[in-house]
Structure 1
Amino acid sequence: MTKELTAQQVITSIPAQADIIFPLTNGEPNRLLDYLEQHQEQLREVRIHQLLPLRGRSYMNNASDAHLKHISYFLSGANRKEFHQGTADLMPNNFHEVTRILRKVGRRLMVMAVVSPMDEFGYYSLGTQADIVSEFIGKVPFIVEVNEHMPRTFGQNQIHKSQIEGFVVNHQPLVSDEPAPISEMDMKIASYVAERIQDGDTLQIGIGGIPNAVVSQLKTHRHLGIHTEMFVDGIIDLVEAGAVDGTRKFTNQGKMISTFAHGSQRLYDFLHGNPAIEFLPVTTVNDPREIGKEENMISINATTEVDLFGQCASETVAGRYYSSTGGQADFARGVRFSKNGKGFITMTSTIKNGEMSRIKASLAPGSIVTTNKNDVDHIVTEYGVAEMFGRPLSERAEQLIAIAHPDFRDELRFEAKKLGLIL
């Protein structure tokens, strides 16, 4: 019989050199993490693997892995400082390959995760998650944290009571975030994307003001599908407007597919018990080959800067690490496999109140290319759309200069000539 565990029972169940995997965002089990943090001196060479952690923890400051060491796969405000001071590691990855990496580097794999309460059939649900952990169900030890606030969802994220080592209880409200506000600039950029989306297309929607603005302009569309790594609030508006039904999808017809969700309480309420939504492992949702099975796939993401070759640096700011690759590269590649796929990388043309162009002759020193020049499709600013795929370098440079802020176009043209991109 599966039993409720004390703090000491949790600690003694963790072997030396364990690699413990945690889900993203609200899948992060706070009581279990409290136990690990408070009793870390009893652990030996244990590593914690996390993406996008919600809360800072003392183990993120451990320079040595003698007891507990933090490895991140996507930085957040919780561990960005620790990475830059050298006490937390960052693992390069494409999101769909994280579980593959964990199998390669893991010694004694375990999973700790938040779940919704058990149903009458003996199953827990990972709720807002499937992400990197659901693929390990039944294959490695699981310790779960039961939380009545976690919505019960469906898909490949169900855990039977026979598949867990034990549980703790922590009925803690989920962290909720309201959608980013939409500016007039966001609406302008979004209009160029929205006019290129047709009825029956399947959408991957990123986070932020511009993706929210795109969604707000699609409410009169019909038969849209959802296949997205992150399920966001804006999708609810499309469903309620009758724009999404998934009937023209080529995979999981009629279902909205995601690998994790984060947003407002309204979103969590919408997810609870909703049979139209399925959470699948990231190895499925973000695999470019799976994405490409949707013949009318649309990917909408953002970047921080682009060079005249079309290289997008989306995980660094001014050459300093800020986040990680996430799923942007997965979907940029995936739409290339899609018969009628389109990928959009969006951004404002300038930053710092117009003092600096986001379109540059060369990326800032230290910048990391997230979406490479061969996979980038469309780049969008408030001045229009630059078509990259199938264009020679000279045309790419001309198109990017045309959507740069007018104050920087002459300088960019001068630099493009120096680089030999244009005459």
Structure 2
Amino acid sequence: MNNYAGYQAKCLTAEEAIRFIQPGDDIIVPVHAGEPQALLKALPFNEELSGNRLYRMVSVYPVLDVEPERIKQISLFLSGSDRKGYSEGIINLLPNHFSDIPSLLRKETSNRVIMAAVSPMDENGYFSLGTSVSYVGTLLAEAKTKTIILEVNQNMPRTFGDHNQIHISQVTALIENDFSMPVIPNLPLSDKDMKIGQTIAELINDGDTIQIGIGSMPNAVMEYLKGHRNLGVYTEMIPDKIIDLYESGAITNQNKKIYRGKTTATVAMGTQRLYDFLNNNKDIFMLPSNVSNDIRNIAQLDNLVSINSTVEVDFFGQCNSETISGKYYSSSGGQGDFTKGVRLTDNGIGIICLYSTTKNDTISKIVPTLSQGAVVTTSKNDVDIVVTEFGKAELKGKTIQERTVALINIAHPKFREQLIFDAIKRGFLPQKHFYSLK
């Protein structure tokens, strides 16, 4: 049977395709735009399902309206689509480092079903995972993955990389659904963003390799990197602003010891501009998360600058990047992978950035101790530099007293006196610092 005939034979409706999923199967879908819209919508209509588990990460589409006895829904990283479901007990959250997800799923799941949105089939019978190789790429070829159901989307970009292709001969069933790719808009950059971006950009030299993500602060950093030259990119997520760095001539990837000449990532999220840029672009090399985020690979990147954001930082240098007011908001993602990995590089720098305040400057995000119920995403021992709109605090090699002073100096001025008082009261600083820091 040729590839086209095989495609036609396996092309079904969503309702027909999900009938291949059996009771007790573990269902795994890729991150964000890799989620198969129509298959997820149809899934609860397979009335035979019982004792199944569904694993998702940075979900785009709503929580399924289905009894947990039938399908237990598990998030690997909360998003706006499932935070409410988590707080209501409908969604479970599985703690993880992004690099560990393939091994966690390998250990915890059996009779796996992969459901993924993919690019159209090429002339050789291969589909691309497009924007999300993530943990799915690693699991596709393993024996416990017994069923592969694809949602073919003409709008999914074809990307290149490792474990990024699925041959029609591997596929159990497929459907066609040309849904619009989910878009993350680029919001206007504030004065705070621009100050943080400029401070971080000044720490990056020509020829460095960067790990950077999505959001206003990373976007501001990239605004200030357009004049840099010979940068490399080794990251977990590709955002829109990477295109600007290509167009300005800043990115060449020529200094990287691994994947030289290529921008590497495991996920891409952004606007249609990004998806158009990715399509058939051989400069982009997508990797499974256990490769892109493996600290042994990260360690090979000389002059790596790792940039991550957080919710709050305490006087020890501990970072809570997952909870707000004691309630889960996201998860660890790859922050732990890169903050640890960059410390193994030659001349690497690990940067954590955040606004100094929240709620219209009524709450300081530089705090004596993390808020009640907060988790420690990044250890005090894994932070080199913290940046706010008021400057940088270099923590690596600093004592607790020195860290406390440095962090108070980049807090919002309206909170500094109270922070000094709290530092003295809690034993972070001796009494004499009250007058010297005011």
Q: Quick check: 2:113–2:148 contact (8 Å CA) kept in 1? A: yes
Change (3 A) 1:280 1:420: same
Cα deviations across residues 61-95 of structure 1 (Å, max 9, x unaligned)? 64x3x211100011111111111111110001111
Equivalent position amino acid for 2:331 in 1: S
1:287, distance to aligned residue in structure 2 (A): 1.3
- Correspondences of 1:57-68 after superposition (within 5 Å): 57-59=63-65, 62=67, 64=68, 66-68=69-71
Q: Which residue number in structure 2 is paired with residue 233 of structure 1?
A: 240
1:172, distance to aligned residue in structure 2 (A): 1.0
CA distance in 2 between counterparts of 1:104 and 1:181 reads: 43
Partner SS for 1:42: coil
Equivalent position amino acid for 1:406 in 2: P
Change (3 A) 1:397 1:192: same
Q: Which residue number in structure 2 is paired with residue 78 of structure 1?
A: 81
Q: Which aligned segments of 4 or more residues in structure 1 are displaced greater than 4 angstroms? A: none
CA distance in 2 between counterparts of 1:11 and 1:184 reads: 49
Q: Quick check: 1:11–1:43 contact (8 Å CA) kept in 2? A: no
Percent of pairs identical after alignment? 47
- Correspondences of 1:8-27 after superposition (within 5 Å): 8-27=15-34
Cα deviations across residues 28-47 of structure 1 (Å, max 9, x unaligned)? 001111220233x3201111
1:171, distance to aligned residue in structure 2 (A): 0.9
- Correspondences of 1:36-55 after superposition (within 5 Å): 36-39=43-46, 41-55=47-61
Q: State how many pairs are aligned.
A: 419
CA distance in 1 between counterparts of 2:369 and 2:420 reads: 13
The counterpart of 1:411, out of the listed 418, 421, 428, is 418
CA distance in 2 between counterparts of 1:203 and 1:99 reads: 24
Q: Quick check: 2:18–2:39 contact (8 Å CA) kept in 1? A: no
CA distance in 1 between counterparts of 2:131 and 2:172 reads: 21
Equivalent position amino acid for 2:159 in 1: T
- Correspondences of 1:133-282 after superposition (within 5 Å): 133-139=136-142, 140=145, 141-156=147-162, 157-282=164-289
The counterpart of 2:115, out of the listed 82, 106, 112, is 112
1:142, distance to aligned residue in structure 2 (A): 1.4
Cα deviations across residues 356-397 of structure 1 (Å, max 9, x unaligned)? 110011111111111111111110011111111221111111
- Correspondences of 1:281-292 after superposition (within 5 Å): 281-292=288-299
1:58, distance to aligned residue in structure 2 (A): 2.8
Cα deviations across residues 79-134 of structure 1 (Å, max 9, x unaligned)? 11111111110001111101111111112212110111110111110111110100
Partner SS for 1:199: coil
Partner SS for 2:197: helix
Q: Quick check: 2:395–2:403 contact (8 Å CA) kept in 1? A: yes
Cα deviations across residues 238-273 of structure 1 (Å, max 9, x unaligned)? 000000010111110000001010101010000001
Equivalent position amino acid for 2:85 in 1: E
Partner SS for 1:74: coil
1:165, distance to aligned residue in structure 2 (A): 1.1
Gaps of 5+ in 1: none
CA distance in 2 between counterparts of 1:12 and 1:114 reads: 18
**TM-score computed with the length of structure 1 as normaliser:** 0.97
Matched, 1:320 2:323: no
1:9, distance to aligned residue in structure 2 (A): 3.7
Q: Quick check: 2:77–2:331 contact (8 Å CA) kept in 1? A: yes
CA distance in 2 between counterparts of 1:137 and 1:58 reads: 24
Partner SS for 2:380: coil
1:178, distance to aligned residue in structure 2 (A): 2.1
Matched, 1:387 2:394: yes
Equivalent position amino acid for 2:425 in 1: K
Q: Which residue number in structure 2 is paired with residue 397 of structure 1?
A: 404
1:8, distance to aligned residue in structure 2 (A): 4.7
CA distance in 2 between counterparts of 1:58 and 1:103 reads: 24
Q: Quick check: 2:214–2:238 contact (8 Å CA) kept in 1? A: no
CA distance in 1 between counterparts of 2:217 and 2:40 reads: 34
CA distance in 2 between counterparts of 1:386 and 1:37 reads: 50
CA distance in 2 between counterparts of 1:213 and 1:8 reads: 45
CA distance in 1 between counterparts of 2:18 and 2:259 reads: 40
Q: Which residue number in structure 2 is paired with residue 363 of structure 1?
A: 370
- Correspondences of 1:126-137 after superposition (within 5 Å): 126-137=129-140
Partner SS for 2:381: coil
CA distance in 1 between counterparts of 2:240 and 2:64 reads: 32
Partner SS for 1:385: strand
Partner SS for 2:121: coil
1:166, distance to aligned residue in structure 2 (A): 1.7
Q: Quick check: 1:228–1:285 contact (8 Å CA) kept in 2? A: yes
CA distance in 2 between counterparts of 1:37 and 1:201 reads: 48
Q: Quick check: 1:223–1:248 contact (8 Å CA) kept in 2? A: yes
Q: Quick check: 1:180–1:212 contact (8 Å CA) kept in 2? A: no
Change (3 A) 1:115 1:221: same
1:137, distance to aligned residue in structure 2 (A): 2.2
Compare 169-178 and 263-272 and name the one that shifted more. Answer: 169-178
Q: Which residue number in structure 1 is paired with residue 90 of structure 2?
A: 87
CA distance in 2 between counterparts of 1:11 and 1:382 reads: 50
CA distance in 2 between counterparts of 1:415 and 1:347 reads: 21
**TM-score computed with the length of structure 2 as normaliser:** 0.93
CA distance in 2 between counterparts of 1:328 and 1:6 reads: 39
Equivalent position amino acid for 1:122 in 2: G
Q: Which residue number in structure 2 is paired with residue 100 of structure 1?
A: 103
Equivalent position amino acid for 2:95 in 1: P
